[in-house]
Amino acid sequence: MFQRRDREAVKPARFRRPFLWQRKALGKEKLFLEREAMKEKPEKPGRLVRSGVRILLPAIMGMEEKVIFRNSKGLELRGILHTPKEQTDSIVVMAHGFCSNKDRERTVETAELYAKNGMAALRFDFGGSGESYKTEITVGKQADDLKSAIGFVKSKGYKKIGLQGESLGGLVSILAYTEGIKTMVLWAPVTEKKNNVDKVLAQEGFSKEEFERTGHIIKKKDGKDFVIPKKYFEERMAVNQKKILSKIKCPVLILHGEKDDVVPLEDSKEAVKILKNSKLEIIAGLDHRFKFDDKKISLGLSLKWFKEHLK
């Protein structure tokens, strides 16, 4: 089942963010600064308190905590755990996209929105990205990292676990799924095989000869070099949509932009035919990055879904 959404047609319940957070680099630490409230300022905003790995935010927003955990090979993964004001056993574990990181503005805002609405959220960097261990990018490594993140939140006492995956993070979420996962929200997810090596070579200015000689491509993004080995492209070509989706037993919401030119919309239309208890929301006018989304649609639909399925 899928439904087309016009951008002005959806107003998320209780979607109101009192603060924007601007992060500035300060050595290896990050300082969270309060900016002017967008709509409503609380009469007595809370203080920012830095104490070890804990950063306490205003009470209305709950708390953010820097966390460190390890994958199955003992390698270090770093993330931010958002917890609401009231204790909860519900959490959304967030899987970022290809060559991205946990600190993207939209990712941070989404985690803050969930915490504001009574759910915890964990955003973390996959290996090879952000602050986590250095390595090349492969689907298999990211699936292992996500499974480790799921194990970490279970160890923290969370019982109702949802996954949110964006683009490649959608594929990783599917591969990391276990029956303990209550639901998933996937934003423009990779669910079908694709041979994109020539496209990436052209984008990064690599020749086929150089790729064959070195066995990898260096992708430059956001001031960081990402190592993309041959194995990654082999994994992408090996994706079998029916095989991987038939294993998913939980309810799944897929959000997909009508004008996505990176992950075909048709892949998601086929995906919901395989998935049980699934729904596809096609958002009019949006591309793969939801570039022109005012956040009221993608965030609002995601919040509504998790509130319904992580009870």
**Residue-range domain boundaries for the chain:** 2-192+240-309, 193-238
Question: What is the mean pLDDT of the segment spanning 195-208?
Answer: 89
Architecture category of domain 2-192+240-309 in CATH = 3-Layer(aba) Sandwich (3.40)
How confident is the model over 71-82, as pLDDT tens digits?
Answer: 999 999 999 999
Kindly calculate the radius of gyration of the chain based on its CA atoms and give it in whole angstroms: 19
- The structure's pTM equals 0.80
Phi and psi angles of residue 307, each rounded to the nearest 5 degrees, phi first: -65, -30
Instruction: State mean pLDDT over 271-281.
Output: 95
- Kindly report the number of other CB atoms within 10 A of residue 136's CB atom: 17
Tens-place pLDDT, residues 81-136: 999 999 999 999 999 999 999 999 999 999 999 999 999 999 999 999 999 999 99
- Phi and psi at 66, nearest 5°, equal -70, 130
| Per-residue pLDDT, 6 | 56
Residue 21 clears pLDDT 50, i.e. is over it: no
pLDDT band at 52 (very low <50, low <70, confident <90, very high): very low
Report whether pLDDT(34) > 90. Answer: no
Lowest-pLDDT choice from 15-19, 35-39, 182-186, 235-239: 35-39
Long-range contacts from 16-19, C-beta under 8 angstroms, 24+ separation: 16/40, 17/109, 17/112, 17/113, 17/116, 18/42, 18/60, 18/61, 19/58, 19/61
Per-residue confidence band for 137, with pLDDT thresholds at 50, 70 and 90: very high
Average pLDDT for the chain: 84
Mean pLDDT, range 250-271, rounded to an integer: 96
Q: What percent of the chain has pLDDT over 70?
A: 79
What's residue 228's pLDDT?
Answer: 95
Residue from 224, 219, 222, 106 nearest 164 by CA: 106
Q: Which residue has the tokens 């080995």?
A: 229
Task: Output the 3-class SS for the chain.
Answer: CEEEECCCCCCCCCCCCCCCEEEEEECCEEEEEECCCCCCCCCCCCCCEEECCEEECCHHHCEEEEEEEECCCCCEEEEEEEECCCCCCEEEEEECCCCCCCCCHHHHHHHHHHHHCCCEEEEECCCCCCCCCCCCCCHHHHHHHHHHHHHHHHHCCCCEEEEEEECHHHHHHHHHCCCCEEEEEEECCCCCCCCCHHHHHHHHCCCHHHHHHHCEEEEEECCEEEEEEHHHHHHHHCCCHHHHHCCCCCCEEEEEECCCCCCCHHHHHHHHHHCCCEEEEEECCCCCCCCCCCCCCHHHHHHHHHHHHCC
Phi, psi of 301 (to 5 degrees): -65, -40
